[in-house]
Amino acid sequence: MKTIKAIIASLALFAMFAGTTAQAKVEIQWWHAFGGRLGELLDEQVNKFNASQDKYTVVHTRKGNYSETLNAGIAAFRAGQHPNILMVFEVGTASLMAAKGAYVPMYQLMKDAGQRFNPKGFVSAVSGYYTTTDGKMLSMPYNSSTPVLWVNKDLMKKAGLDPEMDLSTWKRVGNALDAAKAKGIDMPFCTCWHSWVHLENFSAYHNIPFATKSNGFAGLDTELSFNSPVHIKHIQTLGKWAQEGKFKYMGRRNEAGKNFRAGECMLMTESSAGYAGIKKEAKFEFGIRHLPYYGATEAPQNTIIGGSSLWALSGKSKEENKATAAFLAFLSRTDIQAKWHQDTGYLGVTTAAASATKKSGFYKSNPGTDLAGIQMMRNKVTQNSKGLRLGSFDQIRGIIDEEMEGVYNGTKTAQVALDSAVKRGNVLLRRFERANK
Amino acid sequence: MEKRVFFKGWWLPALLVAPQLLISFVFFFYPSGQAIWNSLFLPDPFGLKTEFVGLDNFRFLLSDPYYLASFKTTVIFSTAVSVSSMALGLYLAALADRLIKGAGVYQTLLIWPYAIAPAIAGVLWLFMFNGNIGLASYYLKALGYEWNHTLKGDQAMFLVILASSWGRISYNFLFFLAGLQAIPKSIIEAAAIDGASFWKRFGTIVIPLLSPITFFLLVVNIVYAFFDTFGVIHTITSGGPEQSTTILVYKVFSDGFVSQDLGSSAAQSVILLVLVGILTVIQFKYIERKVHY
């Protein structure tokens, strides 16, 4: 009997202590979209933060891909069950910005928590995406990348080409694809993220508008304009390559990455963040090049980002917001950012992280990893190359993907497809404007 | 003669039907009412503000050519799934019915695919026809046929029909087999003695006697093709390419949960509700008359 009593007493004592420690620590939730290698690296960051102090605990949960994470966050918000921090990809930015009251703006969060935070420390090409026109930062840039051209050097040699040849323009790329096809290479060209690479970044890179009103930055009454002659020329070229078997369509997202990593595809346009996977899996010599452009245009201007930022959702206690602020400040630390940049191929989103990486000699020992940063920051940004801020943009991307599929399978000309995408997209923009005015 | 039971008083019958009424209210009337109500509004995704727009959501939908195309897609898809899975189910049931040895083994194996959830079935077929690693697409390529269902609408449609019908064949097989075994052997033997061939017997005796089951399966299969194939389409094509496999119920999901356009999604649910209602009335009014019980 005595022993049982003793056990109960000690258990109660233990529970009391466990209770107090759990109470003392403020727990916050972070919902994100990273699995695989990126998920491991994210987990590492969270563990480091949790171990670095004893006031707060961050719990992270993967909610599926980018779209699924955003939708889970929105659904949870409606039900009042939302996390403190939500990862939102760049496409969802306008939707969140318009939902005033759903989030605590970053500058406000940091000020309320008394957290030192310097928005100027971020690379402006990145932070501009998440900052209002009057200079207030609304969310924290987390992972940002930009599209580059990936080269399978072994296949280039097999095609009788110099693997170091000039591939700066689409015309030169076209010549290389002709040679590859003639040598019987099955998949000379493939691409991921069609709309992002070949229309959105294409527009910025050639300094032509993707949409009016500075691509939506200057107002909700923006209209799509990606059916200009230069756009049509490029999409028509891709369609022609698809018909001639030089370009193989593998899917709307990053499906083609598998073919490249397996050594089947010779040239691929994909995010610079494809680096982590390619470096791990590729059993061939690969190279990274700048995204190609067309001559006799304003290219190369600069490319824009893809990726996500972290939003502090509203309706949380002051204590929890403090924890959120502390964690986000931790993530923007130079050592954390530099490691993330080098591990993943995402851009160093703070200037300090980029220069620290340069100093460490990382770019020298990993040639090509600095191209994405250069490509984004090579020129002063213009109205057309700042980024995109369009409502319902996930849906509009879906429309663009559909219409482009029509060009690739030969049922539509580029003119018809892009005109139709613009028209259908504008309907959604008007609907978004109406719901958010 | 119909049997009728009369209750004295009202509380006992009320109590007896109460559970059913409650379930109908919670799972049917309340959500349907919500859908009708929401279809008149244009809310923002977060539910922070909303605007009454009357019938604008319906106007918006009916002026969208892709929404109208989705009706055609749904008809093609549902017809193909119902007809192919019922025909194959009947064929296999007719074969299994004639088995003398090992009937149990064959029947069990044929019923097996029914235990697989639609989403899992979708992934299985997707693996076989995947452009990168699929065995089926590999052999098709070896035969000189280019398979790429991410780009070619007809191939995508074929694949979702195949994946949706596959598990359904088992279900239909099971019901047809039960129906066949319920037909008295004496009738068929009598016809055989009179010199009727197998096909004659099948056409004039078996098919009419199976008609109640066929009718039941037709209703159930169309409802299945309309609503339960969601998992298959989501895993294989997500409605693409160019919305060529976007059936009505998938569009409700993608506009509501992917695009967060809850007003349009609710309006689509209402249209779907009306459509299924009409379809059910037609089936029971016209087709049921031709059914022999």
This prediction's pTM? 0.81
pLDDT tens-digit readout, A196-248 = 999 999 999 999 999 999 999 988 999 999 999 999 999 999 999 999 999 99
Partner-chain contact B241 A95, CB within 8 Å: no
- Other beta carbons within 10 Å of B140: 15
Determine the residue of chain B that is closest to A265 in CA distance: B132
Extract the tokens encoding B60. Answer: 């918006």
Partner-chain contact B153 A251, CB within 8 Å: no
Q: What is the ipTM of this complex?
A: 0.72
For each of the domains in chain B, give its residue range(s) and CATH number, in order of start: 49-182+209-290 (1.10.3720.10)
Chain A residues touching B267 at Cβ < 8 A: none
Chain B residues touching A435 at Cβ < 8 A: 42-44, 51
d(CA A158, CA B260): 48
Which band of pLDDT confidence, cut at 50, 70 and 90, is reported for residue A13? Answer: low
Structural domain spans, chain A: 2-144+306-359, 147-303+382-435
Extract the tokens encoding A229. Answer: 């002659």
Q: Which residues 5-24 on chain A approach chain B with CB closer than 8 angstroms?
A: none
Partner-chain contact B258 A78, CB within 8 Å: no
pLDDT tens-digit readout, A18-53 = 544 445 789 999 999 998 888 999 999 999 999 999
d(CA B6, CA A426): 63
d(CA A244, CA A178): 10
Q: Residue A20: its pLDDT value, please?
A: 47
- Other beta carbons within 10 Å of B274: 10
Extract the tokens encoding B43. Answer: 């809310």
Q: What is the maximum span of chain B, computed from C-alpha positions, in angstroms?
A: 77
Q: What pairing do the DSSP bridges indicate for beta strands B41-43 and A306-313?
A: unpaired
Chain A residues touching B150 at Cβ < 8 A: 249-252, 255, 405
Domain A147-303+382-435, CATH homologous superfamily name and number: Periplasmic binding protein-like II (3.40.190.10)
Partner-chain contact A409 B51, CB within 8 Å: no
Tell me if residue B52 falls in helix, strand or coil: strand
**What letter does residue B286 receive in the DSSP assignment?**
I
Average pLDDT of chain A? 91
Chain B residues touching A89 at Cβ < 8 A: none
d(CA B62, CA B84): 31
Task: Give the distance from residue B261's alpha carbon to the nearest chain A alpha carbon, in angstroms.
Answer: 9
d(CA A233, CA A239): 10
- Please report which helix (H) or strand (E) contains residue B220, including its range: helix B207-223
Which band of pLDDT confidence, cut at 50, 70 and 90, is reported for residue A380? Answer: confident
Q: Does A131 touch chain B (CB under 8 A)?
A: no
Higher pLDDT, A47 or B102: A47
Partner-chain contact B261 A100, CB within 8 Å: no
Distances (CA, A) of A208 to A229, A299, A380: 11, 9, 15
Q: Residue A239: its pLDDT value, please?
A: 96
Hey, what CATH class is A2-144+306-359 in? alpha beta
pLDDT tens-digit readout, A74-83 = 999 999 999 9
Q: How many CA atoms lie within 13 A of A51 on its CB side?
A: 6
Determine the residue of chain B that is closest to A406 in CA distance: B242
Q: Which of B60, B152, B257 sits opposite A409 (nearest CB)?
A: B152
Nearest to B81 by CA among B252, B279, B230, B288: B230
d(CA A216, CA A214): 5
Cβ distance A106 to A140 under 8 Å? yes
d(CA B149, CA A405): 11
**What letter does residue A381 receive in the DSSP assignment?**
-
d(CA A122, CA A143): 12
Task: Give the distance from residue B210's alpha carbon to the nearest chain A alpha carbon, in angstroms.
Answer: 44
Residues 6 or more apart whose CB falls under 8 angstroms from that of B233 comprise: B122, B160, B239, B245, B246, B247, B250
Same fold yes or no, A2-144+306-359 and A147-303+382-435 = yes
Q: How many CA atoms lie within 13 A of A21 on its CB side?
A: 7
Nearest to A406 by CA among A224, A161, A238, A176: A238
pLDDT tens-digit readout, A131-187 = 888 889 999 999 999 999 999 999 999 999 999 999 999 999 999 999 999 999 999
Tell me if residue A59 falls in helix, strand or coil: strand
Q: How many CA atoms lie within 13 A of A378 on its CB side?
A: 17
Please give the average per-residue pLDDT across B171-199, as a whole number: 91
Average pLDDT of chain B? 89
Cis peptide before B184 (omega within 30 of 0): no
Q: Does A423 touch chain B (CB under 8 A)?
A: no
Task: Give the distance from residue A402's alpha carbon to the nearest chain B alpha carbon, in angstroms.
Answer: 4
Question: In this structure, which amino acid lies at residue A202?
Answer: F
Task: Give the distance from residue A252's alpha carbon to the nearest chain B alpha carbon, in angstroms.
Answer: 8
Share of chain A above pLDDT 70, in %: 95
Distances (CA, A) of B12 to A140, A329, B7, B15, B21: 63, 67, 8, 5, 14
Q: Residue A8: its pLDDT value, please?
A: 60
Q: Residue A19: its pLDDT value, please?
A: 47
Higher pLDDT, A5 or A93: A93
